[in-house]
Amino acid sequence: MPRSDFWSGLVVAGFGLLALIWMIPNYAGSNPFAQMPPGLVPSIAAWIMIVCGGIVALKGLVKLIVSGISPLTTEINWSAIGWALWPFLFVAVAIWFMNFIKITWFGAILIGLMLFLLGERRWWLILGCSVVPPVLLYFLSVYMMRIGVV
């Protein structure tokens, strides 16, 4: 997969570069008296990412050129990407909802809806699987940990 090597290496090296020129100077703080200033270890880490990510990207690029593949492609399988992406979006939206509704109450909907989306249609199974875990959580948080409903 030279194409994904190229792009992923580029992203890693890019993150390292971003860390080196923006995050570390602005947010690492300074300590002029220290032999190991606060920015030293993060900078080493950033350099590792730049060098190693760069090598991965470069090797990917060489392979791309040798085998004559373009780094960009128009044959993107959108439905595959969508299928990989929707669980993330689903959980992200669920987390947003948890700002307002506690996970103990919201949990049943979270599990039930996702089960439905994953293709389960037997209502008794959806009901059982979505109700039992939140009940366990309620028991755990309220009676065993005594921290109230989470």
Partner 1 sequence: MDFSAVGAAAAEALTLASFIGIGGGVLLGYVVGVVPGLSRSVAISIAIPLTFYMSPYIAISFLIGLSKGTAAGSAVSAILLNAPGEASSAATALDGYPLAKQGKPKTALQVGLIASVMGDILATIILIFVAIPFARVALMFGPYEMAAILAFALVFIAGLSSGNVFKGLAAGGLGIFLGTIGLDNQTGLPRLTFGYTELMDGMPLIAVAIGTLALSEMFIQSEKLRYDRANMSVRLENRADDHITMPIFKRILPTIFRGTGIGTFVGALPGLGPSVGSFMSYGMAQKAAKQPELFGKGEPKGIAASESADNAVIPAALIPLFGLGIPGNVSAALLIGAFAIHGITVGPLLLRDNPELLYSIFAGMILASLIMLVLGWYGLMVFAQITRVPPHVVIPIVIFFCLAGMMLQGYGTFGLIILMAFALLGYLMKKYDYSFVTFLVAFIITPMLELNLRQSIILSRGNWEILLNRPIALFFIVCTLIALIALIIRTFQTDKAAAGAPVSE
Partner 2 sequence: MKHTFAAVFGATMLIAPMALADSWQPERPMTMVIGFAPGGSTDIQGRVLARTLEEHFGQPVNVVNQPGGGGAVALTRFLNADPDGHTFMFGVMLGLTFSPIVTETEYDIDDFRYAGTLVGGQFGVVARGDAPYQSFEELVAHGKETPMTYAQQLPMDQAIMELIADQEGIDLAIVPTGGGGGMAPLLLGGEVDFAFSGGTHAQYTPTGEMNVLAFLTRERSPFYPDVPTLVELGYPYAMDDFRSFFLPGGTPDEIVQAFEDAARFAVEHEPFVEVTVENTLHPIVFMDAEETEATIRDIRTANEALMAN
Residues that bind partner 1 (CB under 8 A): 1-2, 4-5, 8-9, 12, 15-16, 19, 23-24, 27-29, 31, 34-36, 38, 41-42, 44-49, 52-53, 55-56, 59, 63, 66-67, 80, 83-84, 87-88, 91-92, 94-95, 98-99, 103-104, 107, 110-111, 114-115, 118-120, 125, 129-130, 133-134, 137, 140-141, 144-147, 150
Nearer to partner 2, 121 or 146 (CB): 146
Q: What's the min distance (Å) between Cβ of 147 and partner 2?
A: 5
DSSP H helical ranges for 19-77: 24-27, 40-66
Contact between 144 and partner 2 by CB under 8 A: the answer reads: no
Please state at what angle helix 40-66 crosses helix 2-18, rounded to 10 degrees: 150
Task: Give the distance from CA 127 to its chain's centroid.
Answer: 29
Instruction: Give the helix/strand (H/E) hosting 21.
Output: none
Side-chain-side CA neighbours of 3 within 13 Å: the count stands at 10
DSSP H helical ranges for 67-122: 78-97, 103-117
Contact between 146 and partner 2 by CB under 8 A: the answer reads: yes
Summarize as ranges the residues that interact with partner 2 (CB under 8 A).
146-148
